[in-house]
């Protein structure tokens, strides 16, 4: 998949107007934002459309594992917080679909690509949320990893994407803290609660590290994306930062990270950590995640059941347009 995309990128590069391409690359190198009406290479447009729409799908599909616990939150306070958090994710999806639409693909086409299985979303959401502690682990680790990915995207070269990230990052930071706070409380609770927190960390740790994508040597898109400043840091750099920040957080609440190879490396000023199971990652990418089918079924059912909302909105818009014309 990655090689094909890279080959396509090179082929398109070859047919672009070299003067326009040089001017575009000079703007990007000067840290100028590229805006929707500006000229851009087709490969840039295609890579961004893919990346932003995948990001939007991840926000929307990401509502499902947590939505699963809104009706079972252990207190009114926890329920209100979780409800607000899940609503934020819906908002993130909407900003991102809007940003992707400025590149010329409609929201309907993007949703269709998601529902038909053509478009991808973050593999992390194909794991089940089996206990309340999973809600803590998701906020702490999954939203924590999302921040790590998204903070550099505030300086990505495409203006609408960069601007959407500013607000998204502020909200993600609240999400991360609410998750960590759930874990902290569980760790201060009964031994059963602490066991639940440790079990959730054990199950979510490795999938969280996978969220940064394949290792740099197997990510040939990275070079082109860095050149065009779509990406500002590599997968492995971001993964290392995440590990370095998160391990002390686990220790502070008395949890242990499920990696026997993990240890502090004084000379590099960061942690060394064990090998990620990339077989598992690629299996989940192929749609073999534990609850992948359930997630897509929930999405498609929601789309079909709520068709009346779209129809009503269209009818209202048509009526308004008619009135405006008559006036
Ligand atoms: Fe989000
Ligand atoms: Fe979030």
What totals of helices (H) and strands (E) does the chain contain, helices first? 15, 2
Tell me the CA–centroid distance for residue 306 and ligand 1, in Å: 22
Q: Give me the pLDDT at residue 221, please.
A: 77
- The beta-carbon contacts of 169-177 under 8 Å, at least 24 apart in sequence, are 171/88, 171/91, 171/92, 172/143, 172/146, 172/147, 173/147, 174/85, 174/88, 175/85, 175/88, 175/139, 175/143, 175/146, 176/139, 176/140, 176/143, 176/144, 176/147, 177/139
Region 88-97 average pLDDT: 96
| Ligand nearest, relative to CA of residue 59 | 1
Mean pLDDT score across all residues of the chain: 93
Residue keyed to tokens 């920040």: 245
Residue 12 scores a pLDDT above 60? no
Residue 154 scores a pLDDT above 60? yes
DSSP state string for 78-110: HHHHHHHHHHHHHHHHHHHHHHHHTTT--HHHH
pTM of the model: 0.90
| 285 band by pLDDT with thresholds 50, 70 and 90 | confident
Q: Are 168 and 150 in contact (CB under 8 A)?
A: yes
Tell me the CA–centroid distance for residue 211 and ligand 2, in Å: 13
Strand 270-272 to 263-265 pairing: antiparallel
Q: Give me the pLDDT at residue 14, please.
A: 61
Residue 87 scores a pLDDT above 90? yes
| Ligand nearest, relative to CA of residue 122 | 1
Q: Give me the pLDDT at residue 170, please.
A: 94
Tell me the CA–centroid distance for residue 139 and ligand 2, in Å: 7
| 1 band by pLDDT with thresholds 50, 70 and 90 | very low
Tell me the CA–centroid distance for residue 102 and ligand 1, in Å: 20
Tell me the CA–centroid distance for residue 281 and ligand 1, in Å: 21
- The beta-carbon contacts of 291-296 under 8 Å, at least 24 apart in sequence, are 291/65, 291/126, 291/127, 291/128, 292/126, 295/61, 295/64, 295/125, 295/126, 296/115, 296/117
In tens, the pLDDT along 25-35 reads 999 999 999 99
Q: Give me the pLDDT at residue 4, please.
A: 47
| 219 band by pLDDT with thresholds 50, 70 and 90 | confident
Tell me the CA–centroid distance for residue 258 and ligand 2, in Å: 24
Q: Give me the pLDDT at residue 10, please.
A: 55
Tell me the CA–centroid distance for residue 164 and ligand 2, in Å: 14
| Ligand nearest, relative to CA of residue 177 | 2
In tens, the pLDDT along 29-85 reads 999 999 999 999 999 999 999 999 999 999 999 999 999 899 999 999 999 999 999
Q: Give me the pLDDT at residue 207, please.
A: 95
Tell me the CA–centroid distance for residue 322 and ligand 2, in Å: 40
Percent of the chain with pLDDT over 90: 86
Q: Burial of 17 by CB count in 10 Å (0-12 exposed, 13-18 middle, 19+ buried)?
A: exposed
| Ligand nearest, relative to CA of residue 66 | 2
Query: Quick one: which of 146, 136, 51 has its CA closest to 89?
Result: 146
Residue 13 scores a pLDDT above 70? no
| Ligand nearest, relative to CA of residue 57 | 1
Q: Give me the pLDDT at residue 75, please.
A: 96
- Give, as residue ranges, everything with CB less than 5 Å from ion ligand 2: 143, 172, 175
| 179 band by pLDDT with thresholds 50, 70 and 90 | very high
Tell me the CA–centroid distance for residue 54 and ligand 2, in Å: 15
Q: Which residues pair with 264 in a beta bridge?
A: 271
Residue with the larger pLDDT of the pair 182 and 11: 182
Q: Are 119 and 78 in contact (CB under 8 A)?
A: no
Tell me the CA–centroid distance for residue 144 and ligand 2, in Å: 8
Tell me the CA–centroid distance for residue 143 and ligand 2, in Å: 5
| Ligand nearest, relative to CA of residue 175 | 2
Tell me the CA–centroid distance for residue 105 and ligand 1, in Å: 21
Tell me the CA–centroid distance for residue 243 and ligand 2, in Å: 18
* Assigned token pair, 279: 């077989």
- Give the Cβ contact number of residue 256 at 10 Å: 12
| 3 band by pLDDT with thresholds 50, 70 and 90 | very low
CA distances 279 to 57, 259, 275, 276, 285, Å, are 23, 17, 11, 9, 10
Tell me the CA–centroid distance for residue 200 and ligand 1, in Å: 20
C-alpha–C-alpha distance, residues 51 and 229, integer Å: 13
Tell me the CA–centroid distance for residue 87 and ligand 1, in Å: 9
């Amino acid at each position: 998949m990655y090689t094909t995309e890279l080959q396509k990128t090179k082929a398109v590069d070859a047919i672009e107007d070299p003067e326009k391409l040089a001017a575009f690359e000079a703007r990007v190198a000067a840290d100028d934002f590229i805006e929707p009406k500006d000229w851009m290479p087709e490969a840039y447009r295609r890579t961004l459309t893919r990346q932003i729409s995948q990001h939007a799908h991840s926000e929307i599909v990401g509502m499902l594992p947590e939505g699963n616990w809104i009706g079972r939150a252990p207190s009114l306070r926890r329920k209100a917080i979780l409800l607000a958090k899940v609503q934020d994710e819906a908002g993130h999806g909407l900003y991102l679909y809007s940003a992707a639409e400025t590149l010329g693909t409609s929201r309907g086409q993007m949703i269709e690509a998601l529902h038909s299985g053509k478009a991808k979303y973050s593999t992390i959401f194909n794991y089940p949320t089996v206990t309340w502690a999973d809600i803590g682990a998701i906020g702490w680790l999954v939203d924590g990893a999302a921040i790590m990915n998204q903070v550099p995207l505030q300086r990505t070269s495409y203006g609408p994407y960069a601007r959407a990230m500013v607000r998204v990052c502020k909200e993600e930071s609240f999400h991360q803290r609410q998750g960590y706070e759930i874990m902290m409380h569980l760790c201060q609770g009964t031994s059963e609660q602490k066991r639940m927190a440790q079990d959730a960390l054990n199950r979510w740790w490795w999938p969280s590290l996978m969220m940064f994508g394949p290792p740099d040597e197997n990510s040939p898109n990275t070079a082109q994306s860095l050149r065009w400043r779509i990406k500002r840091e590599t997968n492995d750099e971001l993964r290392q930062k995440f590990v370095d920040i998160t391990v002390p957080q686990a220790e502070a609440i008395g949890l242990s990270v499920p990696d026997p190879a993990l240890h502090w490396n004084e000379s590099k000023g960061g942690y060394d950590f064990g090998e990620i199971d990339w077989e598992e990652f690629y299996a989940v990418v192929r749609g073999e995640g534990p609850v992948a089918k359930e997630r897509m079924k929930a999405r498609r059912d929601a789309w079909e059941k709520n068709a009346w909302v779209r129809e009503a909105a269209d009818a209202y818009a048509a009526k308004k347009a008619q009135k405006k014309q008559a006036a």
